[in-house]
Amino acid sequence: MPAGVDNLERLEEEACREIAAAASLQALTEVRARYLGKKGSVAEVLRGIGDLAGDQRARIGQLANSAKRRIEMVVSERRRALERGQRDRTLGAERLDITLPGAEEPRAGHLHPVTRVFRDMVEFFTSMGFSIEEGPEVETEYHSFEALNIPKLHPARDEQDTFYVEGGNALRPHTSNVQIRTMTGRTPPFRFIAPGRVYRHDLSPRHYPMFHQIEGFLVDERVTFADLKGVLHAFGRHLMSDDIELRFRANHFPFTEPSAEMDYGCLLCERKGCGICSNSGWIEWGGCGMIHPQVLENCGIDPDRYQGFAFGMGVDRTALLRYGIPDIRLLFEGDLRVLEQV
Ligand SMILES: [Zn+2]
Rounded to the nearest angstrom, the distance between the alpha carbon of 210 and the centre of ligand 1 is 26
CA of 39 to the centre of ligand 1 (A): 96
Please state, rounded to an integer, the average pLDDT across all residues of the chain.
89
Side-chain-side CA neighbours of 175 within 13 Å: the count stands at 26
Out of 151-165, 220-234, 237-251, pick the least confident.
151-165
pLDDT tens digits along 98-123:
888 878 887 788 899 999 999 999 99
Cα of 217 vs centre of ligand 1, distance in Å, is 29
Please name which of 257, 252, 331, 242 lies closest in space to residue 292, comparing C-alpha atoms. 257
- pLDDT tens digit sequence for 167-202: 889 999 889 899 899 999 899 999 999 999 999 888
205: CA distance to ligand 1 center in Å?
18
How far away, in angstroms, is 283 Cα from ligand 1 center?
8
Cα 269 to averaged position of ligand 1 atoms, centre (Å): 4
Q: How far is the CA of 336 from the centre of ligand 1 (A)?
A: 28
Cis? peptide before 326, omega within 30° of 0: no
Give residue 227's pLDDT: 97
Asked whether residue 326 carries a pLDDT value surpassing 90, the answer given is no
Q: Which residues contact 270 (CB under 8 A, 6 or more apart)?
A: none
> How far does residue 265's CA lie from ligand 1's centre (Å)?
8
Share of the chain above pLDDT 90, in %: 48
270 CA distance to ligand 1 middle (Å): 6
Q: Ligand 1 centre and the CA of 282: distance in Å?
A: 7
Long-range pairs for 147-150: beta carbons < 8 A, 24 or more residues apart: 147/180, 147/295, 147/298, 147/299, 148/176, 148/177, 148/179, 148/180, 148/254, 148/255, 148/295, 149/254, 149/255, 149/292, 149/294, 149/295, 149/298, 150/254, 150/255
The whole-number average pLDDT for the span 299-313 is 96
Q: What is the pLDDT of residue 1?
A: 46
In the reported structure, the alpha carbon of residue 284 is separated from the centroid of ligand 1 by a whole-number distance in angstroms of: 12
In order of 8, 19, 35, 66, 77, the CA distances from 69 in angstroms are: 13, 14, 11, 5, 12
Q: How far is the centre of ligand 1, averaged over its atoms, from the C-alpha of 260 (Å)?
A: 21
* pLDDT tens for each residue of 44-84: 887 877 777 778 888 888 888 888 889 999 999 999 999 99
Strands 210-220 and 246-253: unpaired
Residue type at 184 in one-letter notation:
T
Q: How far is the CA of 328 from the centre of ligand 1 (A)?
A: 18
User: What's the gap in Å between 316 CA and the centre of ligand 1?
Assistant: 18
CA separation, residue 305 to residues 184, 189, 220, 223, 296 (Å) = 16, 11, 8, 10, 11
HSE (CB half, 13 Å, CA atoms) of 324? 4
- Report domain extents, the chain: 5-93, 113-339
| Ligand 1 midpoint to CA 321 (Å) | 11
DSSP 8-state class, residue 168: G
CA 297 to centroid of ligand 1, rounded, Å: 41
The alpha carbon of 278 and the centre of ligand 1 are apart by a number of angstroms equal to 7
Give the chain's count of helices (H) and strands (E).
12, 9
Q: How far, in Å, is the centroid of ligand 1 from the Cα of 285?
A: 14
Q: How is the chain split among helix, strand and coil, in percent rounded to 5?
A: 45, 20, 35
Distance CA 334, CA 330 (A): 8
Exposure b/e, 326-341, CB count within 10 A at least 16 = b: eebebbeeeeeeebee
pLDDT digits (tens, 9 = 90+) for 245-290: 999 999 999 999 999 999 999 888 889 988 878 899 998 899 999 9
How far, in Å, CA of 121 to CA of 128, rounded? 11
What confidence score (pLDDT) does residue 3 get?
Answer: 53
* CATH number attached to the domain at 113-339: 3.30.930.10
**Spacing, Cα 109 to ligand 1 middle (Å):** 32
